[in-house]
Amino acid sequence: MTPALVAALPAFALYTFIQAITPGPANLCSLATTMRIGVRPALRQWVGLTIGFFVVMAVAMAALLGATSFIEGALPVLTVAGAAYVLWLAWSMVRPGEGHGFSGVQPTIGAGVVLQVTNVKLLVMSSTALVAYVIPYTSDWAVLAAIGFAVPIVGSACNLAWIYGGVHLQAFYERHRRPVDAIMAAALALCAVGMLAALV
């Protein structure tokens, strides 16, 4: 590692942590899943979120190292698909229906992968981290691979914090199910609007 890269690592770590810990579609879904149906289903979904995060990071690295035109062409489509999926999740939280969890949404590994792969905020965050803090200082494949591995690990660890935070909110949720569902759905809808706003 070059001295310049070493000097940039604290800022890179802080940026990555802040982006990973703040509310976004994955964190809000993990919190909602835990509050509604418990940790075990949320952890199953988390496995998919983690796999999806690694996929998105690989795409971001590929874009920066040569496939930029393809990624730029796909970005609007991914953005619209991701926003539509997040809006559907928001609607599924508040629509009438019996049973537990999101109406019609099962917290599966596959659902977690889909959520992350269509989460354009994640692609932008990963690309920005690489462009601002890594690529200017090194082109060493070993360093890039290490960074590409570290960012999803940080993101997945932060997502676990939202899952286990939901455990402590389950009793509150049971007492205030409808308003909490409405607030969570509104927060997810705002995430979708933010994703679409990036296209304008």
Percent of the chain exceeding pLDDT 70 equals 86
Looking at per-residue pLDDT, the higher value among 95 and 17 belongs to 17
Band of pLDDT at residue 18, cut at 50, 70 and 90: confident
What mean pLDDT is predicted for residues 88-95? 75
39-43, 86-90, 150-154, 158-162: least confidently modelled range: 86-90
- Enter the tokens of residue 198: 């990036």
Mean pLDDT over all residues of the chain?
79
DSSP 137: T
Q: Is a pLDDT exceeding 70 seen at residue 71?
A: no
Instruction: Report the distance separating Cα 9 and Cα 125, nearest Å.
Output: 16
Q: Are 155 and 123 in contact (CB under 8 A)?
A: no
Q: Which of 70, 161, 181, 74 is nearest to 118 (CA)?
A: 74
Q: Is the pLDDT of residue 54 over 80?
A: yes
Q: What pLDDT sits at residue 103?
A: 45
Higher pLDDT, 133 or 70: 133
Query: Which are the contacts of 91, defined by CB distance < 8 A and separation ≥ 6?
Result: 185
User: pLDDT value at position 99?
Assistant: 42
CA distance 152 to 127: 12
Q: What is the pTM of this model?
A: 0.72
pLDDT digits (tens, 9 = 90+) for 172-189: 777 887 887 788 788 778
Q: Bigger pLDDT: 18 or 115?
A: 115
Is the predicted pLDDT of residue 68 greater than 70, yes or no? Answer: no
CB contact at 8 A, 166 and 34:
yes
pLDDT bracket for residue 101 (50, 70, 90): very low
CA dist 80 and 195 (Å) reads 8
Check: CB of residue 22 under 8 Å from CB of residue 155: no
Q: Residue 45: its pLDDT value, please?
A: 94
